[in-house]
Structure formats: structure tokens, C-alpha cells
Structure 1
Amino acid sequence: MGYVDKNMMEGEVLYASGRLHWIIFSKAIAFSAAAAVLLLFALALHMGENQDTAQGTFTLGFISLLPAIWYGIEALIRRQSTELAVTSKRVIAKFGFIRRSTIEINHSKVESFHVDQSVLGRMLGFGTLNINGTGGGITPIPNITDPLGFRRRAIEAIDDSQKRSST
């Protein structure tokens, strides 16, 4: 983890890290599937006697690959440039590669965690983790893998830090 490792404070320990779920590739997968269907259909037409129709379908199939590639690259960059971590002192989320957005919430400023999962999210293991900070700030982290597990590890880290500070 680049950002998290570079910004750890003295004595801070990494408890858990998280990542975005593969569901962020769903647009790329959908466009790839559509392109595959069109290309297979064009191949079937080409083997038959519809050469003109086959050429148009091939062209349409290859054109439909362009958004698949675009969305695939976009999702890959998003997944690789997102860092989620729970340390002994903070909850950290970093988004972005060129345009960066970071959220760092000290344990003492975290009020609660709220997880939103759709039926598909529960089946595939992803959801949105909302971190409620003191002062009414809500920080959503969408499409996180195993949001309940990440929340559990964050709560354990906060409990441990509160026990250490009270002794």
C-alpha cells in the first residue's frame, strides 16, 4: 500500500486493509459480452452466404469493444488507485491516481459504521461502508469487498485503541 505506508505515524500499526470488489468491472464485462455475441453472430453470417451483413456486424462488434476497453481500464485504475486501511490510530481511505482524494478519521472521531448491501451485494460479497464521524460527517466507501468484515476489523481496532488509552 503506497499511500498508507508512506503516511503511517510513529507507532501506528496496520490492522486491516480493504479493496474494491470486482463488481466495478461490470460495465466492461457487459460491453465485452455484447461484443462477443456480435462477433460470433458475424462469424456465423460469414460462414453462410450473407457476406455484406457479416462485414457490418464485424464492424459493429469491434466498435462495441471500444467502450468495453474504456470501462475496463477505468475500473482497473480505480481499483489499483484505491487504498482502504484500518490502523491502530485511524481509518484511512485514499481514492484516485492523478486527482487524489483522501479521508483519514482518527478513532476518537468515529461515531459509527453503517453497511449498505443490496441482494446482489450480499450474494457476491460487496457493499457500501458509511463511516459516521463526530460532527455529522458521513464518509461513504462504495463497492468495498467484504464490508462487514472491514467494519468488524475497524471496530476491533477502535476498541483496542480505546483500551490502550484508558490504561
Structure 2
Amino acid sequence: MPVPTKTIKTSLFAAAAAIAAITPATAHNHQHHHASQAQTPNIVETAVSTGVHQTLVAAVQAAGLVETLSSPGPFTIFAPTDTAFAKLPEGTVATLVKPENKGTLTGILTYHAVAGRVTASDLTTLIKSKGGEATIETVAGGTLTARLSGDTIVITDAAGRATAVTQADVDTSNGVIHVTDGVFLPG
């Protein structure tokens, strides 16, 4: 069932602020505890540390996906920034993070995940080998379409919305993150 598009921003930002207040302390303790090991952070730890993915982290926590995205994977995650989430119609995020919408939220978040470690170079090679357009299957089961616009990888979701990868190949211990300037919606 589609979530009313007029309903996301306020609550999600409140949730993000609450999580941001809790999570950095945990991340700091974790880093302090393992400081001598110089361990590469996982996808969730990396998203927490960027400062521009608070909404995504809040959504991942609301969907109960922290453990999954902290597992060995590997995963490729297209990670919308807080600004990307803010582009959604007002109230959308607030509605999605409500417990009764956990299934819908999980579906949207897993639509941003691909099994395996897919680098920008892998994507570029695939796009070129497929004549300029490659279809990628997501963990959610839906597909995304990848194209090149100059040197920029552009991902189009099932609803035809195009989103640019603004920062590629953020390496993590259990996969790779590609930062996007938009949120993918499955339909």
C-alpha cells in the first residue's frame, strides 16, 4: 500500500536527531575500544560517521535492519543523503518510520541494497557492456537501471526517477556505499 506522499519529514528528523544523540556515543566507544586494531567500519558505522546520513540511519534503525547491514554481507548500498530525504514530500519520512509502516520502510530501504560488492568501475563496465543501460536487481527484488551521464552514474528507479551517484566507492568492512542525491522508490 503506498504511503501518502504528504507525510515524511518532521518525525523522521526527530527520530534521526534522537538516534544521532544515542549512536555517536556508541560509535565513539566502539572506536575507542578497537582503536589499536584500525578496523574498517561496517556499512552502518560508516553511515553514522558521515554526518549526512542521519535520516538513513534513523530509517535503518526503525526498519530493524541494523543487524543485517552490520553482517558480513557483502552489500552494495546506494545511500541517500539527508538532503535527498528532505526532497521527498513533507511528512513522507515521518510516516514511513512509524511502527505500522515497518514493512513499507523495509521494502524501500532494501530497494537501495544490492547483494555483493559492486564498485563504480563494475557498474561502469556493466553499463558499457549492455549498450549504455544496465539493470541491477536489488535485495528487495525490484530492479534499478544504471546509466552514465558523462562520468556520473545515474540510477533510475521503478517510478522513472533519476538519481545521481554523488560519491562512489565508500569502502566498508562488509561492502561498498555509493552516496546518492535522491531516494529510490519501488513504484
Shared fold, TM over 0.5 = no
**Where is the helix percentage greater, Structure 1 or Structure 2?**
1
**Where is the strand percentage greater, Structure 1 or Structure 2?**
1
TM-score w.r.t. structure 2 length? 0.25
TM-score w.r.t. structure 1 length? 0.27
